A and B are shown apart, each in its own frame.
Chain A
């Protein structure tokens, strides 16, 4: 190493450090790589130990009845389709509400701004569970009887739409001023500017945030069990109460939700990196 230090670089053509500073840079790089690897290793080991210990303790406790689980586990797991369906449909509707809400909140027309603000205020100021049950149990008193699934989807979407209104508003405001000016200079009317220039870019800006909301939605979709939609939590809860085995059924349900969020978080990260690399850079 010291012998190479005094020699001019790029002689001999062999790989590896040739000068003192190159050697230092290389050593630092390797040390960092080792530290990163060690960190990840400890992370994984810690998870394995804790989860393993928990699993062992649960197994040893004798509270798990394998026969019961093999009988009813598939039934609970069968709710995954409904859970994902509810989350997907609701998030799509919620994006619609959010776009309308954001346009309202950005409007200079007083009544429109007022209505949008009222929407956000009421929805964010009341519990989601009340909103869901309200649609299901209170509206029928006015003769409005909706299909339970529709109630659940609507209430979830209406609620998330209010939260996402602020996300979309920020996304629209994040656009450089020049984009709207360029569109105005091209004589595009207001509505066309929104539809063709502002919203397509704003949606790209907020896609990562929509991903986060979707993951939260998967968990909140459990609340639609209160309107008798047979998704994961509904099945776990009813089965558990019926056989007095809530520990097993809720554990299974929790694991399912956890697994779903891990899977969708993975896809969301992939989507985010793909957007960052895409040619369409806002």
Chain B
């Protein structure tokens, strides 16, 4: 009797897990299938496989919907954000954990407080600054706030790693005549590569996915990133469902590829705020 209960419970577990697997994967699968269909096919047979592997929706999304342009803008913004946020955070995390000064604890907690700030409460002031600095409709207007809000979590992750490095590493380097900046860039940073990759990847994903900042700071279609571009596409061609599906697929493919390669790093990084905080 006990065995029967055990087997049923074991089975129930897998049924629950499979149910959720389908729940999470099927919508993405459905998008992919329907991106090859024509508009009428979508309405008539939304559940079947596409008749042909017709790429015209993708062509239309790129040519008419300018998804290619938005894609390029997203790449530029995300790479710049990753570069500046990671560099600034790594340096700060080093200065906060390895250099010896009285206020380091206080400054660290000011940075970490930033994780609690809702970005919405900074939007109007930032809009006002950027307006005065003539930065609206430039990449900088999106890069700057993304860097700012990537810094706290990056510092949290990196300072965790830096404080675990044994002191002897630095001492040996400095005895050999390395300056502190040189020690940092040539010895500490290479050692911290795994954490630096984690930080870079989560910064990239956050910047790539964000709508709020670019929606407000980029109104020129030439400068828009993918999420804003998608909303613009939706506004202009609201009945071109299949074109929109293709555009959505183009948007999520990079995230899914990056995720399938680096999922462990991404999962560690994105949950670090809760698990380590």
**Are A and B a genuine interacting pair, yes or no?**
no
Interface residues of B (CB under 8 A from A): none
